[in-house]
A and B are shown apart, each in its own frame.
Chain A
């Protein structure tokens, strides 16, 4: 026993003269493994500088944590894109399946892992935020993520090739069986929300109801509404609406809800004068021609 204790004592004494192996985290940072799975970001396309997403919604379909909302759309050049793309990081499990499944190689996993925020809604990212994430990664590592950075789908020479990843049907055994019963319809226009049978989904689609307006959590609904035209907006429950309005009033104090919705108003230029007969102030608009004339006078 004494010999063993002596051996132990010599080891601990020797250790005291070695350098500690602790990594002083906020000051020092461990090197990332190349396939570290952090937050998901959009690749910036080299040609257009925009995201490469075409709004197919496969990512949303494959997402096990149900954190992606995709509403497909078309941009001003007639190119398909995601009209709404919401990435709810608070639900994300960082499995990387969305990246794996993306046929356009638009998604990458960054090395972003310090995701703490003080407001939960800050964890919901839209397209711009996801593009910025990739930019930040570029700044940090000095490497552009213009090619998808997920080596799982890159070939041996490091170049991504769309043909090298599995077909969708191979990925999900539920699809092969033909009785797909998820709330995640396959067709890309993913209604984000609670379980819905495929039949119900089809019925909704045939009725022409916008699918993305499914049972979104309130936070997402609010964000989604920002992107939609008035007739497509999801009516918030009364209580939630009241709460939202109250919050806005709290924040701005002076502006009403209506004013916030229309922050920039047409301002009419008026002239006031005293009506001597009736002893009151008259407010009357100035004619456009008169305004132009005064402007020209000022210029000259």
Chain B
């Protein structure tokens, strides 16, 4: 009926050629290495600053939604609050409980923090085929793997080990309960998170994030054909990052603070940053996979650089996260599990099957998808 070669989209096949970068890794390895270091530095500094101020924005917007002022003591309209928080976290004592398994207890925040950061490596802030800023010294993405989405999903699921280790090693029943909840929740929602992206992957025919963006630039944002996939992705993403209304591992009203109950000082800070980073990764991923990433919505808007588009879309998704957080109360655990297995999983599966069928029919009929 059809060959596997037909399944690979001609557009992708043409674009998936090797990136045309100014410095080649094989020819000038030292300069390439230095450029990568500079890129890593710039992207991480930018993302950490964004992370610091998104906490400020979250607290401020949440306060306004609840008719409060929010942080307004540190600097004008509380703008120095992130700095104050950082200083507080750094100078606070790091308490390790006597009952704790000390090695695991110390390792857990790292194991939560590092994968969350590592997932950022793959995000294309602009067209990765281009040279980037400053003659290639700041590249649009740190790396551009051809299995990008697999890498991101893998690292976002490694993060749960940090939570489980934290809960297990704290020697505290609430932490343990939080960790158990978290493992159950993340394993369940991992499934729907992956499945919801399958539709996009079938449609684009590539796992490389940049190719997916290029596909959308050439045709239409994948949110329109993959609306169901997007819905499942957003719900799973919120659950995956343990945010309200799925914040059962922390559940401050029942589990005090859940898995990070015994943590203080910068250890707690690392969990905090990790949560925000994985949230950022999910929000950026939503922008990249469904809303055209760095690509402008229409060709005449191309004069605005890619990173601005990406950050704009990212900000909208962040706001959606916050908005849901200060509106929707927490789900019960059985509701949470019911939602994923009875609603999200069948939806994602149906989406996957239908997308596949339409794709094959489309190729047979000569449609372009």
Contacts and interface: CB of A to CB of B under 8 A. Distances in A.
A5 interface: yes
Given A5-B328, A20-B63, A12 B68 contact: no
Contact of A13 (B63, B67, B323): B323
B323 A20 contact: no
B119 to A, nearest CB: 28
A5 B64 contact: no
Contacts of A9: 323-324, 327
B61 interface: yes
A12 B327 contact: yes
Which range holds the interface residue count of chain B? 10 to 19
Contacts of A15: 64-67
Interface string A10-26: 01110110111110100
B224 interface: no
A19 B65 CA distance: 10
A21 B67 contact: yes
B326 interface: yes
A19 B327 CA distance: 18
Which one of A12, A13, A15, A19 has the greatest number of beta carbons of chain B within 10 Å? A12
Contacts of B69: 20, 22, 24
Interface residues of A, number: 14
A8 B328 contact: yes
Contact of A18 (B67, B323, B326): B67
A67 to B, nearest CB: 36
A16 B328 contact: no
Nearest to A17: B64
A16 B67 CA distance: 7
Nearest to A8: B327
Nearest to B322: A12
Interface string B57-83: 000010111111100000000000000
Contacts of B64: 15-16, 20
Interface in B123-175: none
Nearest to B61: A16
Nearest to A5: B328
Interface in B328-347: 328
A12 B326 contact: yes
Nearest to B62: A12
A237 B323 CA distance: 66
A12 B61 CA distance: 10
Contacts of A22: 67-69
A15 B323 CA distance: 11
A263 B61 CA distance: 64
B274 to A, nearest CB: 26
Contacts of B65: 12-13, 15-16
A71 B14 CA distance: 103
A9 B323 CA distance: 7
Contact of A5 (B63, B67, B68, B327): B327
Nearest to A13: B323
A20 B62 CA distance: 12
B58 to A, nearest CB: 13
Given A15-B67, A21-B67, 16 more contacts: A5-B328, A8-B327, A9-B323, A11-B327, A12-B65, A12-B326, A12-B327, A15-B64, A15-B65, A16-B64, A19-B67, A20-B63, A20-B64, A20-B69, A22-B67, A22-B69
Interface of B: 61, 63-69, 323-324, 326-328
13 contacts: A5-B328, A8-B328, A9-B323, A11-B327, A12-B65, A12-B326, A16-B61, A16-B64, A16-B65, A19-B67, A21-B67, A21-B68, A24-B69
